[in-house]
Amino acid sequence: MGNTLHKYLLILLLPPLLGACSVGQMVARTSVSIMDGAIDAMNRETDLTLAEAAIPANIKLVEGLIVEDPENPVLLANAAQGLYGYAFGFTELKDRPRAYALYQRGTDYGFRALKSLGVNLDLRTASIDAIDHALSRLGSSAVPALFWTASCWSKEIDLNRTDPARIAELASTERLMHRVQQLEPDYFAGSVYGYYGVYYGSRAPMFGGNFSLAEKNFSAARAVTEGRLLIFDVLQAEYLERQRLDKARFHSLLQHVVDTPVGLFPEMALINQISRTRARYLLGQEEEWF
């Protein structure tokens, strides 16, 4: 009798629960913590072949969960992060048009994440003042969405440097990253500073670049992990030293990355392996660029 009564009570309770949240949404939302573990495990991977094969499946898994819960900002930010990592780590040096499409897809997920958090703007066309006003309402829970949207969006622009209309959007990506800097300046092992190193270092001073600020930000990025995240050396060489034509510094930064043994930073092992691959590629362009 007691078990039967419990069953009836459960049946009575189920309709309002399911009405508020579908089974698919429940599964998607309970999967978020599992996805966090999967991201941590991927960050620790040292085998680039395995990582390159695994990341697309992880992205599709996240996209499947988004179908069930299309306004979940955590899942949407995870999709943007996965697409950025796959494009930067495994696609950009081999197939720039495909990398552009992946970054664009990541940006779109990022925009959706920010919209679900209350940013009801067309960020590509909104004024700087309007963007700042909308972002001022966001708190620390919005940091992943802000960061990965800005990262994907700025890489779209980076791969379309000949298009003035796209270059004009760069200031808008900076406002997103500026809000991250206000809320969590050391986010993702100092990558906010890395963004600003590229932002100021990749352009000549007459076009808004500032080599001194770029170097300051790259130094700040390294300080967060005591120099253990090698990507900042790669980015400084690729964007700042190439821009100011410092061949010696370009070479020394990249050679340092290549020579640093595996195991320096286990929590970010994959990014360091990607950094070594990119450093070797850039060293192969040295004579052509300088």
pLDDT tens digits, residue range 117-163?
999 999 999 999 999 999 999 999 999 999 999 999 999 999 998 88
Kindly state the tokens that stand for 165.
């209309």
| DSSP track, the chain | -HHHHHHHHHHHHHHHHHHHS-HHHHHHHHTHHHHHHHHHHHHT---HHHHHHHHHHHHHHHHHHHHHSTT-HHHHHHHHHHHHHHIIIIITTT-HHHHHHHHHHHHHHHHHHHHHTT--S-TTTS-HHHHHHHHTT--GGGHHHHHHHHHHHHHHHHTTTT-HHHHTTHHHHHHHHHHHHHH-TTHHHHHHHHHHHHHHHSS-GGGT--HHHHHHHHHHHHHHTTT--THHHHHIIIIIIHHTT-HHHHHHHHHHHHHSPTTS-GGGHHHHHHHHHHHHHHHHTHHHH-
Question: What's the pLDDT tens digit per position in 57-104?
Answer: 999 999 999 999 999 999 999 999 999 999 999 999 999 999 999 999
Q: Are 218 and 239 in contact (CB under 8 A)?
A: no
- pLDDT band of 1, cuts 50, 70, 90: very low
Q: Indicate the pLDDT class of residue 7, thresholds 50, 70 and 90.
A: very low
CB 173 within 8 A of CB 153: yes
> Which pLDDT belongs to residue 23?
67
In sequence order, what are the residues at sequence separation of 6 or more whose Cβ sits closer than 8 angstroms to the Cβ of residue 185? Answer: 192, 193
The predicted pLDDT at position 14 comes to 39
Average pLDDT, the chain: 91
Q: Higher-confidence residue: 180 or 23? A: 180
Q: How confident is the model at residue 201 (pLDDT cuts 50, 70, 90)?
A: very high
- On the CB side of 9, CA atoms within 13 Å amount to 6
Do residues 102 and 90 make contact, with C-beta atoms less than 8 angstroms apart?
no
> What percentage of the chain has pLDDT greater than the value 90?
83
Tokens 């990022």 found at: 110
Which pLDDT value is given to residue 37?
A: 80
Q: Rounded to the nearest 10 degrees, how much is the dihedral formed by the CA atoms of 216, 217, 221, 223?
A: 20
Higher-confidence residue of 146 and 164: namely 146
pLDDT of 286 above 90:
yes
Per-residue pLDDT, averaged over 211-225, amounts to: 98
Max avg pLDDT among 26-30, 34-38, 144-148: 144-148
| Local confidence band at 29 (pLDDT 50, 70, 90 cut-offs) | low
Query: Would you tell me the crossing angle of helices 269-284 and 247-259 to the nearest 10 degrees?
Result: 140
For the entire predicted model, the pTM comes to 0.90
Instruction: Tell me the pLDDT tens digit for each residue of 9-26.
Output: 333 343 444 445 676 676
pLDDT score at 28: 58
Residues 12, 82: Cα–Cα separation, whole Å: 41
First-residue to last-residue Cα distance in the chain: 85
24 or 243, higher pLDDT: 243
pLDDT digits over 262-285, tens only? 999 999 999 999 999 999 999 999
pLDDT at 234: 98
